[in-house]
Structure 1
Amino acid sequence: MVNSPRDGLNAIGQYHEVGGWGRAVALPFRAAFIGFVTLMSGTTASGTPLPRSIDPAGFGKPTFEETWQKLDAGTDQVRPSVPHRWRTVLGHGSATSVFNRKGSDASQYVDKDFPGVENGKLGSTPLGLDPFELTPGSHVTIKGMPAPADLKPKLFGASYVGGVLTTRFSFSQLFGYFEISARLPTGKGIWPAWWLMPISGQWPQNGELDILEGLGASNEIYCSVHSSALPGKQLSQKVTLPFDVSSGWHRYGVAWSADEIVWYVDRQEVHRVATPADMKQVPMYLLLNVAVGGSWGGYPDASTRFPARFDIQRVTVWKLPG
């Protein structure tokens, strides 16, 4: 998830034939490629090409599974001896750095314990801004909201707040199938994301894998990869879906192997690229967030409804077979 504009989209109508492991399914979608053509080579560890229709039922026990019986989350600015399952900061710089919680150029990530930063120092009491809402055993919601005017000085002047959950200190994996079941927020200026980052390296070294990013449209997502090994440092695709992303639960996943990366919606392929050379050795951790505003997707207007709600029903990771 990068905070930069993406221009020059060229929409291409496609009717995508989906097959592979399991029954064949036809999935209509529209795609816009940014930068480079899609490459189709790649295999699993056993030498089998990644499927066009994926069924993780045969992958064995998940290596990570979150069903939100509780929300085990905390700031964890540095790695504790027993980390929370979910971390609520990005961890870039110190606890008083604007980049520690920067969601976009218009928003900061907060949590219920965040005291704000003023004059380079942390505040003494929490600001009372909680972007996380738990429905135990059902789902967690990450919310994007306008920042209260009186608190903006303690939020680096940000006009909006959102939330981020990462497994930076609790879970990472090299290769596999990574999936959420979710309902996405829509509205101008709303920026939900489900992505992976490497546990080491200076960005974009060792890559960034954006499984989905939404820019507020009711039926569009972006699937992207960033890497120091790519000309232009990124490949991205806009996918137009045959449903409203906010109206029901849908699965958004990616299969990542040493040879290729395949994105799936409801377990049907929507995009495929060759794995960049620097994304074959370093495990990646999970991130879920809602940011608000930014030069890429634009800023909220009078039509934007708040709070924006990113509902996540399940997060599951498997190792690929073979």
Structure 2
Amino acid sequence: MKNTFFTLFILSASLTLYSQQHSATKADFSRPKKLKDYQLVWHDEFNKKGKPDVKYWAYETGFKRNNELQWYQAKNASCKNGILTITALKEKVKNPNYDVNSKDWRENRAFGDYTSASINTRGLKSWKYGRFEVRARIDSAKGSWPAIWTLGNKERWPANGEIDIMEFYIKNNRQSILANAAHLGINSEAKWNSKVLPITYFLEKDPKWLEKFHIWRMDWDEEAIKIYLDDELINDISITNTNNPDGFNPFHQEHYILLNLAIGGENGGDPSLSKFPMTYEVDYVRVYQKNN
């Protein structure tokens, strides 16, 4: 009897572990959880087939920032089986804005050698304060630069404020997870508060970390921005003294959400030897705010 009980116990534990590991690699179709003292004010579970919902998401097009290599286009973002997938491809695309005499890198490239997608809720959905949760899985190939971030509605960057709930790129010659915020400092330059953790920090705890979805979370109120990864606090940023030189605090205004997969550029690394397509998968985006 003892041996039978022990065998059943081991079998049950093994099945539970398998279930947990298997679910970590799949879409989560469960209802958004209820949180004490919070209400769910908006979410997108991406439980549809085709393009992201146009009521919530708009697209960036073309070359945009950081000398990145990708040409952003809408067709590289699609939903299927409960997952938004942003796909980066190694393909040549003609730059319709090409000007051989331009000094702007966005215009003096005749072609882009890579394509990807960047979607955002600008002008459609924005929030001031709250808990933001995003379940996502990233691609660690060299050159991959996925992000979950927000920008303020008012002022131009960096005066509008930027919050990077997640970035993944090469920092200090190591592939790293970053959690940052920036506002306008002196001399019209961005003033950053950054936390950098090498990807090896997570792989040492779980060698299969990159195969799984993870939950990035931001808790944001009038005093601080706290960024978590799987409930581990990554960065705690006080915003009581993050005023721009003109006195405007960009973290006391509404922000909108961006999801994108950049390639190369100033931080992504050289993708020329990497395997394509690269994918960045997002299971859901949820925004909670405190009850009045």
Output the TM-score relative to the length of structure 1: 0.64
Shift of 1:273: 1.4
Of 106, 109, 116 in structure 2, the residue corresponding to residue 162 of structure 1 is 116
Shift of 1:73: 4.2
Of 237, 240, 248 in structure 1, the residue corresponding to residue 195 of structure 2 is 237
Task: Establish whether residue 274 from structure 1 lines up as the match of residue 238 from structure 2.
Answer: yes
Task: Establish whether residue 152 from structure 1 lines up as the match of residue 111 from structure 2.
Answer: no
Q: Is the 8 A contact 1:102 1:109 kept in 2?
A: no
Task: Establish whether residue 68 from structure 1 lines up as the match of residue 46 from structure 2.
Answer: yes
Deviation per residue, 1:144-200 (Å, 9 max, x gap): 11123xx33448522211101101121100111111011111111110000001111
Q: Is the 8 A contact 2:150 2:162 kept in 1?
A: yes
2:222 match: 258
Q: Is the 8 A contact 1:255 1:262 kept in 2?
A: yes
Q: Classify the secondary structure of the residue corresponding to 1:296.
A: helix
Matches of 2:181 and 2:209 in 1, distance apart? 21
Matches of 2:182 and 2:253 in 1, distance apart? 14
Shift of 1:89: 1.6
Matches of 1:288 and 1:191 in 2, distance apart? 11
Q: Is the 8 A contact 1:103 1:162 kept in 2?
A: no
Superposition pairs of residues 68-217 of structure 1, within 5 angstroms: 68-70=46-48, 73=52, 84-89=55-60, 101=64, 104-111=67-74, 130-136=75-81, 138-148=82-92, 151-154=93-96, 156=109, 157-215=111-169
The answer for unaligned runs of 5 or more in structure 1 is: 1-54, 75-82, 91-97, 112-129
Task: Establish whether residue 284 from structure 1 lines up as the match of residue 255 from structure 2.
Answer: yes
Rate the CA distance shift 1:235–1:211 in 2: closer, same or farther, 3 A: same
Q: Is the 8 A contact 1:59 1:318 kept in 2?
A: no
2:161 partner letter: G
2:36 match: 58
The answer for unaligned runs of 5 or more in structure 2 is: 1-32, 98-108, 244-248
CA RMSD of aligned residues (A): 2.7
Shift of 1:295: 1.9
Q: Which has the higher helix share?
A: 2
1:309 match: 279
2:276 partner letter: F
Q: Classify the secondary structure of the residue corresponding to 2:35.
A: helix
Output the TM-score relative to the length of structure 2: 0.71
Compare CA radii of gyration and give the structure with the larger one.
Answer: 2
Matches of 1:60 and 1:139 in 2, distance apart? 25
Q: Is the 8 A contact 2:39 2:291 kept in 1?
A: no
Shift of 1:56: 6.6
Q: Is the 8 A contact 2:137 2:281 kept in 1?
A: yes
1:10 match: none
Shift of 1:206: 2.8
Matches of 1:188 and 1:321 in 2, distance apart? 43
2:70 partner letter: S
Matches of 1:308 and 1:216 in 2, distance apart? 16
Of 243, 248, 254 in structure 1, the residue corresponding to residue 212 of structure 2 is 248
2:11 match: none
Shift of 1:216: 6.8
Shift of 1:298: 1.6
